[in-house]
Amino acid sequence: PGHKERARGREGSPPNGDRRQPRLVVVSNRVADPRKTAAGGLAVALAEFLNNTGGVWFGWSGKVVEAAEGGVAGEGAVHTQKAGPVKLVTVDLSREDYDDYYVGYSNGVLWPVFHYRLDLADFDAGAIEGYRRVNQLFARKLAPLLRPDDIVWVHDYHLIPLGSELRALGCQHRIGYFLHIPLPPPLILAAIPGHDWLMRGLCSYDVVGLQSKADLEHFTRYIQREAHAQDLGDGRWRVFNRTLQAGAYPIGIDVDEFAALTQAKEAQEMYTRMKREYSRRKLLVGVDRLDYSKGLPQRMRAFRELLHKYPDTHKSATLIQIASPSREDVSAYTDILHELESLCGSINGNYGELDWMPVRYMHRTVARARLPGLYRACRVALVTPLRDGMNLVAKEFIAAQDPADPGVLVLSRFAGAAEQLPEALLVNPYDTQGTAEAIHLALQMPLEERQSRHAALLATCKQYDVHWWCESILSALRKAQAQESGTPWLRL
């Protein structure tokens, strides 16, 4: 059979011949069971749409085998399991594929460059071949599973060229893409060897979704400058002989679901314990993955400046910093771990008392069910990344607050969330003194102002929640197909 016949798939049509309900096929680096709210993030966001269509979630199994099938790199075993009406399909990676695709290129090149850290990128010429090899592997394993009317939605920087690899196999499906991390300006993108190949792959999708208007501007500037794209209006572009829709779709949270978690037993127990144990303190909280993009050393220096400049915070302000482990096989993360531990120890040594430790630092993951209680017990949240695609901790903190006595969000202007949440106290995390002043303002903020800011922030989080995010992108994808083909578009 030809490419198109293989790409149309072996699974046939939807049950009962119902072709009005296209199946959603999600592709991401890692796969989660959408029935488990503890999975958080993407699983919570996509559960409704996957369940409604009996969808498929495809990605890496998380398993690294020393040798690929047949001893050939780029050939991984496929596993299938059911999660209610959703099918989870995963592929193993060989050690060589993992090292090149995941560690070498995705996290050694794309992650630092997309977060504006060219100095940390390792432009090893071999890694890009592994990145392409695994994307080809994903395409080969996924294409036979697709039904003719499936809608495919690819996620994040690990899989930028997957759309073009599927197209090469003859897939004519509606394929959308969403980048969860920032997209840097054209000049920074151009520092990546092979950036033209990478961005051509990004333009193979019918819809390209980005986190912020700034990211969208960077994308459109790039395709205009490097590919002479034609602006068709309303976010549509003609580029590389294709028409695509590009838009800013800031990801949200399920506000109602998170509010319900706040009232659940584990969160309530956490809230009660924190209020009891820190009854004489004003709590600040930071919850981050241990990553150089999160600005954790800069945050600690700002907190140290707060203690130095404002004696009224002594024996009062207590920062609870959770830094969950992240990619600890990469040297840059070991360096930042040591720097963070040194700063925390220095602050506690210089300012701590027998009955007060300014920083409570934890290098481990805290269960998602407990976080709402921690957020609610805290007067201030510090969300101060040096660069971030969105940062959902900011939105979770807002959703967890008591509207009658809410805490204050201190937010980096370099987080994607800052575009949506101007009522937060916006800071430049590189400005140690300015950030310290903003933290002090947050600790001293009167109730009426806290209530007013929180009400506005919560309204935004509710209006642009995760359901809005999903429906907006999927609607754009369906409409983009209709515009390209001239056929009526179908609702999920």
Per-residue CA distances from 390 to 17, 117, 220, 262 (Å): 40, 17, 19, 22
The H-assigned helical ranges of 115-158 are 127-142
Per-residue CA distances from 190 to 26, 131, 263, 266 (Å): 29, 18, 48, 48
Among candidate residues 33, 29, 87, the one with its CA nearest the CA of residue 60: 29
What lies within 8 Å, CB to CB, of 113 at 6+ separation is 121, 184, 188, 189, 191, 192
Sign of the C-alpha dihedral, residues 444, 446, 447, 449?
A: negative
> Strand, helix or coil at 145?
helix
Length in residues, the chain: 492
Q: Which residues of the chain have pLDDT under 50?
A: 1-19, 39, 485-492
Among candidate residues 21, 88, 41, the one with its CA nearest the CA of residue 60: 88
Any idea which residue has 């009526």 for tokens? Answer: 488
pLDDT digits (tens, 9 = 90+) for 329-359: 666 788 899 999 999 999 999 999 999 999 9
Per-residue CA distances from 293 to 69, 137, 182, 272 (Å): 36, 30, 11, 32
| Residue 329 is a catalytic residue | no
| Residue 180 is a catalytic residue | yes
- The CB density around residue 125, as the number of other CB atoms within 10 Å, is 8
pLDDT for position 434: 98
Give me the catalytic one of 291, 388, 454, 465. 388
pLDDT for position 490: 32
Side-chain-side CA neighbours of 20 within 13 Å: the count stands at: 1
pLDDT for position 329: 60
> Strand, helix or coil at 180?
coil
Burial class (CB in 10 A: 0-12, 13-18, 19+), 142: buried
Give me the catalytic one of 33, 124, 149, 180. 180
Provide the token pair at 243. Answer: 């028409």
Provide the token pair at 160. Answer: 């930028």
Contact between residue 280 and residue 317 where contact means Cβ atoms under 8 Å apart: no
User: CA 31, CA 59: separation in Å to the nearest integer?
Assistant: 6
